[in-house]
């Protein structure tokens, strides 16, 4: 089985977890796996994006109790937006046209993201949100109508995410200076491993600016 085929098999399994309502913890892990696969495959994901967007939009239509699941679903949308804004908006329009029941959910995605920005924790999740917000700041004018009501919220949320990243970097630097080799989970919550984090290959210049280098 090729690596690409294996990725699509993993997406199928993850989709079944979300569709079959196997518990929000399991669903959040499934959404995380989908996010990681999108980052790894990137351009090879074009054919699968409409199904993924529809899956996430439909899950938003059911009750969500935990912020962890809600944030992971939002994060899948953000990753698609950041990697290719044109493809993101085209996919949203296609899904909404083919499945009218998702229209209100898709329309509310941006508002929910802005509301939940302060809940993103850990380096990776904050980076994804920051890169998505910066994408909105430089978005093509033809998509402006979709986000016009969000404009006053984008910069304040960018600043909030930036401050959170600075605190996290400082926390990690303090840990390094103390030669702390304990690998418990008390340092930074909700982080993916460094190996997975390297899947974001286009953010280096922006992250250097975030770190003030």
pLDDT in tens, 99-137: 888 878 877 889 999 999 999 988 999 999 999 999 998
Residue 129, phi then psi, degrees to nearest 5: -65, -40
Rounded to the nearest angstrom, the gap between the alpha carbon of residue 72 and the centroid of all alpha carbons in its chain is 6
Q: Tell me the Cα Rg of the chain.
A: 17
Q: Which of 54, 35, 42 is nearest to 128 (CA)?
A: 35
Per-residue pLDDT, 209: 45
CB within 8 A of 55, min separation 6: which ones?
15, 18, 19
Residues 145-155: what's their mean pLDDT? Answer: 88
Residue 147, phi then psi, degrees to nearest 5: -125, 10
Number of domain units in the chain: 1
Q: Is 205 left (phi over 0), alpha (psi -120 to 50) or beta?
A: alpha
Q: By the 8 A CB rule, do 42 and 83 touch? A: yes
Residues 78-90: what's their mean pLDDT? Answer: 90
Residue 198: both structure tokens together? 């390297």
Residue with token string 């959040």: 28
Q: By the 8 A CB rule, do 24 and 65 touch? A: yes
- pLDDT digits over 4-59, tens only? 556 667 777 788 888 887 899 999 999 999 999 898 887 777 788 888 888 888 88
Please give the residue range of the domain that contains residue 153.
Answer: 3-210
User: In terms of pLDDT, which residue wins out, 182 or 98?
Assistant: 98
């Amino acid at each position: 089985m090729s690596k690409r085929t294996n990725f699509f098999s993993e997406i199928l399994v993850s989709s079944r977890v979300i569709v079959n309502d196997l518990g929000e913890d399991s669903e959040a892990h499934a959404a995380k796996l989908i996010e990681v696969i999108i980052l790894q495959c990137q351009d090879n994901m074009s054919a699968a994006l409409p199904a993924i967007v529809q899956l996430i939009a439909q899950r938003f239509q059911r009750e969500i109790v935990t912020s962890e699941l809600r944030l992971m679903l939002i994060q899948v949308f953000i990753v698609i937006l950041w990697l290719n804004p044109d493809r993101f908006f085209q996919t949203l329009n296609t899904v909404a046209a083919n499945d009218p029941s998702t229209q209100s959910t898709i329309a509310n995605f941006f508002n929910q993201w802005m509301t939940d920005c302060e809940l993103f924790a850990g380096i990776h999740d904050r980076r994804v949100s920051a890169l998505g917000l910066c994408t909105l700041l430089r978005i093509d004018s033809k998509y402006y109508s979709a986000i016009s009501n969000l404009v006053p919220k984008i910069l304040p949320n960018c600043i909030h995410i930036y401050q959170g990243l600075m605190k996290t970097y400082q926390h990690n630097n303090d840990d390094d200076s103390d030669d702390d080799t304990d690998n418990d989970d008390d340092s930074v919550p909700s982080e993916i491993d460094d190996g997975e984090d390297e899947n974001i290959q286009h953010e280096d210049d922006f992250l250097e600016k975030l770190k003030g280098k």
